[in-house]
Amino acid sequence: MTKRPTILFYCQHSLAMGHLVRSFALADRLTERFRVMLLNGGRLPAGMIVPPHVELINLPPLGIDETNQLVSHDKRISVERALDRRQKMIRVTFEKLRPAVVLVELFPFGRKKFASELLPLLRAARNEDTRALVVCSLRDILVCQRTNQQQHDDRAAAVANEFFDVVLVHSDPGFARFEDSFRPSIPFKVPVRYTGFVVPRTTAVSKLKTRQKRIVVSAGGGIVGEPLLRLAIKAHEHLEQDPKLEMKVIAGPFVPEESWQELQSLALERKRLRLVRQVSDLCIELSSAAVSISQAGYNTCLDVLRAGVPALLVPFANKHEDEQRKRALRLQQLGAVKVLEEKDRTPEGLAAQIRSLMDAKFARPDLDLNGAETSTELIESMLESSTHSIADFSGETSYAN
């Protein structure tokens, strides 16, 4: 049997867990053609299943707090000690594996705080003796609301030009394009390929003619989800007159303990309301629901579309994060969802929106959801080339502003 080439896949989820969910889905498909070693830099949620055949190395877990500063999720070690240990683990893993491919999620378009461990890895992958194909795995829409956005984009372009062979954008170009949220002032020389959206394998989604009269409320990982979850539980009070209506509130594995306790108190003794920390497959939960209420993360939106459930999106946004709002508004323009306006973000307003959605019909946009398969095929075809130059395989031109 021919030995499969090895991919060293780096993923750092810092605030929510969407990056890890997408990376697991991609790694799962990659194992069909490659040996995949995944470096996980964030917390691994309890009960989250690692895809079969994906070899996982958990680095000392780091994340970002509400002030945008690095924090250690292992109370036994400091951030500085964790960074030092992580860099050594990454170096040793690379030297032992000698991977054919180094696949990095988001960097250099984000994760600047992790450059101290990523730049040595990229230099090693560029070394003549240990040369690897270097690939960036990127979501559909980037954050582009920083105070120093032009400086950020120019720095990212310079790093990508120096170290990366290709950028794989996990989007349908008819929905969102790379240049919509990345505009460097210097020439961007790295080929960009659109793969379609990456979705995980899942049990066949139910095609029920009639759905249960159940509202599913979710908030991704849960770190920034408490305001939405609290609003939904309070809105339930205005829906209790309907004896057949149920609400299931999924808080998320990373909801802070204090917030979890407060949500439990708020939900206590409410009939036909169930509060849980997490579920194994949100898409399956939504496939039999009457309405979905959620934020607008990449994975959640794709679960909504695949389930075909009437959906109300309440995107998370602050002065630095605008990606979810942009995604939500684009889906609303396609007629696929409704976005909850600020004026309706009251218990009474949300309850009224839920009632209006019960029998609503939404469009099902024809978006490419084969991102994991296409990414696998692209990487394999690049490796089959006589060199690591991928110019012959880039269907997209470089972007220069």
Would you kindly state where each structural domain of the chain is located, as residue ranges?
6-199+369-393, 214-357
Residue partners of 321: CB distance under 8 A and separation at least 6:
143, 145
Residues, the chain? 401
**Are the beta carbons of 354 and 216 closer than 8 angstroms?**
no
Q: What is the mean pLDDT of residues 315-339?
A: 91
163 torsion bin: left (phi>0), alpha (psi -120 to 50), beta (else): alpha
388 falls in which pLDDT band (50, 70, 90)?
Answer: very low
Nearest partner of 198 among 9, 39, 42, judged by Cα: 9
Rounded to an integer, what distance in angstroms lies between the CA atom of residue 327 and that of residue 317?
Answer: 11
Rounded to an integer, what distance in angstroms lies between the CA atom of residue 238 and that of residue 188?
Answer: 53
Asked if 6-199+369-393 and 214-357 have one fold, the answer is yes
Number of Cβ atoms within 10 Å of the Cβ of 388: 15
Rounded to an integer, what distance in angstroms lies between the CA atom of residue 100 and that of residue 132?
Answer: 5
122 pLDDT higher than 60: yes
Q: Per residue in 177-206, pLDDT tens?
A: 999 999 999 999 999 999 999 999 875 555
SS3 230: helix
Q: Are strands 62-64 and 70-72 parallel, antiparallel or unpaired?
A: antiparallel
60 pLDDT higher than 50: yes
Q: What is the mean pLDDT of residues 139-162?
A: 92
CATH number for domain 214-357, candidates 3.40.50.2000, 3.40.50.261, 3.10.180.10, 2.40.100.10: 3.40.50.2000
Amino acid at 284: I
227 pLDDT higher than 60: yes
CA of 69: how far to CAs of 64, 318, 401, in Å?
5, 16, 31
- Give me the pLDDT at residue 190, please: 97
HSE-up (13 A, CA, CB side) for residue 328 = 21
401 pLDDT higher than 50: no
Residue partners of 225: CB distance under 8 A and separation at least 6:
219, 251, 252, 255, 295, 316
CA of 135: how far to CAs of 12, 125, 351, in Å?
15, 11, 45
Please identify which residue in the block is written with the tokens 């991102």: 371
Helix, strand, coil percentages in the chain from 3-state DSSP, rounded to 5: 35, 15, 45
Rounded to an integer, what distance in angstroms lies between the CA atom of residue 371 and that of residue 392?
Answer: 20
Q: What kind of architecture, by CATH, is found in domain 6-199+369-393?
A: 3-Layer(aba) Sandwich (3.40)
Rounded to an integer, what distance in angstroms lies between the CA atom of residue 111 and that of residue 316?
Answer: 19
- Give me the pLDDT at residue 2, please: 61
Chain centre to alpha carbon of residue 216? 20
- Give me the pLDDT at residue 397, please: 35
Nearest partner of 329 among 319, 340, 321, 318, judged by Cα: 340
Residue partners of 286: CB distance under 8 A and separation at least 6:
216, 292, 303, 304, 307, 309
Which neighbouring-strand residues pair with 168?
Answer: 137, 193
- Give me the pLDDT at residue 285, please: 94
**Are the beta carbons of 222 and 275 closer than 8 angstroms?**
no
- Give me the pLDDT at residue 386, please: 42
1 pLDDT higher than 70: no
